[in-house]
Amino acid sequence: MSDFAAETPAAGRPPRATLGSAEGDDVFGTFDPKVARRFLGFLKPHGKAFFCAQVAVLIAAASQVAIPALIGLAATAAVARDGRRLDLALLAFAGLAGVYAIAALLEQWISARLAQRVIFDIRRKMFGHFQDVSLSFMDKTHVGRIMSRLQGDVNTLQDLLESSTGAAGDFAMLIGITVVLLAMDWRLGLLTLTVLPALVVIRAIWLPFSKKSFLAARDASSAANSALAENINGVRTVQETRREAINFELYREKAQENFRAQVGASWMAQIMTPTVDALTGLAMAIVIVMGGDAVLGGRLQVGVMVAFIFYLQRFFEPVRVLSTQYTVMQRAMAAGHRIFEVLDVKVDIQDAPDAIALKDAPATVEFRNVTFGYDPERPVLHDINLTVNPREVVALVGPTGSGKTSIIALARRLYEVDRGQVLVGGHDVRDLTLDSLGQTIGMVLQDPFLFTGTIEENIRYNTQSATAQDVVAAAKAVSAHDFISRLPEGYQTRLGQRGRNVSMGQRQLISFARTLVANPQILILDEATANIDSFTEQAIQRALKVLFAGRSCIVIAHRLATIRDADRIVVLQHGRILEQGPHDELMRNAGLYFQLCASAHASFDDQAMMDDSLHAMRT
């Protein structure tokens, strides 16, 4: 769909070339009372503040409405040459202006703070929810998408919240002005207000067009931006493949399209200005002619006419603001819908109400008749029975997709078994608190994830009791100390995003140290498959021995050295245990394990060449 090769004639442009692509969420939603109600739920804890803000809004609006009336009174008094009445009116004016200033200040102060607070509450709730939702959800949802919920959608709600108090004020003022106009002189008032329906009709006609051009402008801009972003991210490839000129042409097209769309949208937005102004002028003209006539007939005081003119000047601005508010509301609805969608994602794994903390239990893991599948219809583990005894190192071995990863995930209760039981320290994991399970079982992932921050912070992670000495001791134990101390700032060196500035092998070592600091009784380790330079590889092999010492371990092992060191090797295939036992015994069996080992030398399988080199080595 991004391939516009089909739409463009094959002029000078290469047929396949594309640059960037942009797809966004729906912008506009329709009003949904359910979304609105749930949204109001977030306001509940701040009910008092919300109420105060609303009162302030009403007071501010009322005083704003009353001020021109007082000016009118003052004018009438002045015309009547009544100095005392004039002073009284002005005194009232001063008082009212003061009330307005205070109410407006409070309104702004309270509602802006409230908006910020509520937004942070919502974001926190969503973020917290992501800590609990099932891993399967996290596996299949792109982080970028989640972030756009947490940022983009939440910010859209913020727009609504921040502007809604003002909108409420505008609405109150509109009603206030209408009432006052009619009260002052209902005939003139009615006559003047006849322009209002015209404005409403015009805006209703205009709105769909403007929405269309607004969307077009937004799409064009995100297309241009995505092209820019892609070219920056891939700039090395662009230069390697000398695509500069072609990409510049492609980008120019997008930039031009963006220009056209933006200018078009601006035209649509601007066209309402003269319309509103003309209608305002018309209303004024009515006041002048009809009001003037009424003054002549003695039916109207001059001051009332002055007040009318002032009210009209203020009348149309709120109308305009309110109709933009409608768009803000629509966007907030779409965003709110997506936010609640996220909050509604089910949480599968949580502490049972009577969950107990695992303490002083033997470091054992037991699988009893476990069957499990990410999709229950298609199990990846069938009827697994496996016991890991205290201080035993069990290596899981088997072809890709044999279920090794599922076994370690279940041991840590990252997923729930479909049938059977997983027991840690003799307790079903479902009866244990997740916190205590996390403290008992340490996990080293295949792809070591590091956070932005210093190396020390990364090694300590959430073991807050660990001192700086503990951190250094752990690093020393896993042979990470040498390379860390060679870094310019040692343990205080900040790691870039995801540890970009240290090598893969070094990241691995840091993650070992992190686990060692946490000092779990049971260790689950998924050995990295990535090619690590041989120098770091040696350090890793040494570190593994330290990690395994004195712990019960389940290891998904890839390196022959690691496997051979295990007390027991469990060979899996198609989600079942095929064979198990120590290395020598399995080699004698000549089963799957034997075959896997044989292929380990596949990369050096030029037998003749191998023999030659070995020969060369011996001589």
Partner 1 sequence: MNDPRPFRRGPDAVVSGPAKVDVRRMPQVLQRITALALRYPARLVLAITCSLGSAVASLALPRLFGAAVDQAQALLSAGAAHAAEARAALWSTAILVIAASVVRGALTMFSGYLGEYVSQQVAQDLRLKYFQQLQRLSFGFHDRIHSGDLITRGMLDLEGARVFIQNGLMQALTLVMLLSFASYMMLSTDLVMGLIGLAFVPVAGAALGRMGFLLRIAWLRIQELMAILTLTMEENLQGTRLVRAFAAKRFEMAKFDRASIDALNHAYKRIVLRCRGVSTMTVSFYGSMGLLLWYGGHRVVDGTMTVGRVTEFLAYMSLMQTPIRQVAMIFNSAARATSAGGRLFEVMDLDSEITDAPRAVPLKPTKGVLRFENVGFSYGDGARALSNISFEVRPGRTLGIVGSPGSGKSTIANLAPRFYDVSEGAITIDGRDIRDVTLASLRAYVGLVQQEAFLFDSSIGHNIAYADPWAAEAQIVGAARTAQIHDHIAALPAAYETRVGERGVALSGGQRQRMSIARGVAPEPGVMIFDDSAAAIDAVTERRVRDALARATKAKATIIIAHRLSSLMHADEILVLDAGRIVERGTHIGLVALGGVYAGLYEMQTRTATLDERARHPEDA
In the window 190-219, what residues touch partner 1 (CB under 8 A)?
Answer: none
> Pairing state of beta strands 568-573 and 393-397?
parallel
Among 175, 179, 201, 229, binds partner 1 (CB under 8 A): 229
Question: Long-range contact list for 142-151, CB < 8 A, 24+ apart?
Answer: 146/342, 148/25, 149/338, 149/339, 149/342, 150/123, 150/126
CB 291 within 8 A of CB 55: no
Interface with partner 1, residue 3, by CB under 8 A: yes
Interface with partner 1, residue 284, by CB under 8 A: yes
- Can you say whether residue 126 is alpha, beta or left, with left for phi > 0 and alpha for psi between -120 and 50 degrees? alpha
Shortest Å distance, C-beta 25 to partner 1: 13
In the window 5-34, what residues touch partner 1 (CB under 8 A)?
Answer: 14-21, 23
Instruction: Give one DSSP letter per residue of 194-246, joined into a string.
Output: THHHHHHHHHHHHHHHHHHHHHHHHHHHHHHHHHHHHHHHTHHHHHHTT-HHH
Interface with partner 1, residue 406, by CB under 8 A: no
Nearer to partner 1, 22 or 332 (CB): 22
Q: Segment contacting partner 1 (CB under 8 A): 46-54, 368-376, 465-473, 611-619?
A: 611-619
Chain length of the chain: 619
Site residue total, partner 1 (CB under 8 A):
184
Which DSSP symbol is given to 583? H
The mark string for 410-429 relative to partner 1 (x by CB under 8 A, - otherwise) is --x-x---------------
Alpha carbon distance 602, 448 (integer Å): 27
CB 579 within 8 A of CB 593: yes
Closest among 448, 570, 441, 575 to 518, alpha carbons compared: 441
Nearer to partner 1, 124 or 588 (CB): 124
Our CA angle for 502, 506, 510, nearest 5°, is 105
Nearer to partner 1, 333 or 499 (CB): 499
In the window 138-167, what residues touch partner 1 (CB under 8 A)?
Answer: 138, 143-144, 146-147, 150-151
What are the φ and ψ backbone dihedral angles of 578, each rounded to 5 degrees?
A: -90, -45
What tokens does 619 get? 């001589």
Among 183, 385, 609, 611, binds partner 1 (CB under 8 A): 609
Among 193, 255, 473, 578, binds partner 1 (CB under 8 A): 255
Interface with partner 1, residue 42, by CB under 8 A: no
Nearer to partner 1, 333 or 342 (CB): 342
Interface with partner 1, residue 92, by CB under 8 A: no
CB 111 within 8 A of CB 53: yes
In the window 527-586, what residues touch partner 1 (CB under 8 A)?
Answer: 529-538, 541, 557-561, 563
In the window 479-538, what residues touch partner 1 (CB under 8 A)?
Answer: 487-488, 493, 496-498, 500-505, 518, 524, 529-538
Q: Segment contacting partner 1 (CB under 8 A): 109-117, 175-183, 200-208, 370-378?
A: 109-117
Q: Give the Å distances, CA to CA, from 405 to 134, 137, 304, 409, 477.
A: 16, 17, 82, 6, 27
In the window 47-66, what residues touch partner 1 (CB under 8 A)?
Answer: none
Q: Segment contacting partner 1 (CB under 8 A): 178-186, 360-368, 417-425, 461-469?
A: 461-469
In the window 329-388, what residues touch partner 1 (CB under 8 A)?
Answer: none
CB 381 within 8 A of CB 372: yes
Nearer to partner 1, 205 or 296 (CB): 296
